[in-house]
Amino acid sequence: DIQMTQSPSTLSAYVGDRVTITCRASQSISDWLAWYQQKPGKAPKLLIYKASTLETGVPSRFSGSGSGTEFTLTISSLQPDDFATYYCQEYESYSWLTFGGGTKVEIK
């Protein structure tokens, strides 16, 4: 099974900061990676798929990069609405998928 490791697990930042979250895969997944945002009591929301393609309606301050085993999600200028938990998810296999453990972005 592919393991997905996110870092950091918690991140404290100010509004306006540039924020970067890292996701590492235990083996190469090409660019079969998605990023989600989740707020308390809500379902995850798709932000990015295929490592760097922004989902329709997602603000352009979100961006994704990487391939193989190392990926990043960047928020260029953190907004109040962005304080949430972020998850990466691989889908390299045809028949299963795996989520990372999450990164909580908190207000500093």
What is the contact surface with other proteins in residues (CB under 8 A)? 34, 36, 43-46, 49-50, 55, 87, 89, 91-102
Q: Minimum Å distance from CB 22 to other proteins?
A: 15
Closer to other proteins by Cβ: residue 2 or 17: 2
- Sole residue written with tokens 């207000």: 107
Closer to other proteins by Cβ: residue 18 or 50: 50
Residue among 13, 1, 94 at smallest CA distance from 21: 13
Residue among 81, 94, 104, 103 at smallest CA distance from 30: 94
Closer to other proteins by Cβ: residue 78 or 86: 86
- Whether omega before 8 lies within 30 degrees of 0, making that bond cis, reads yes
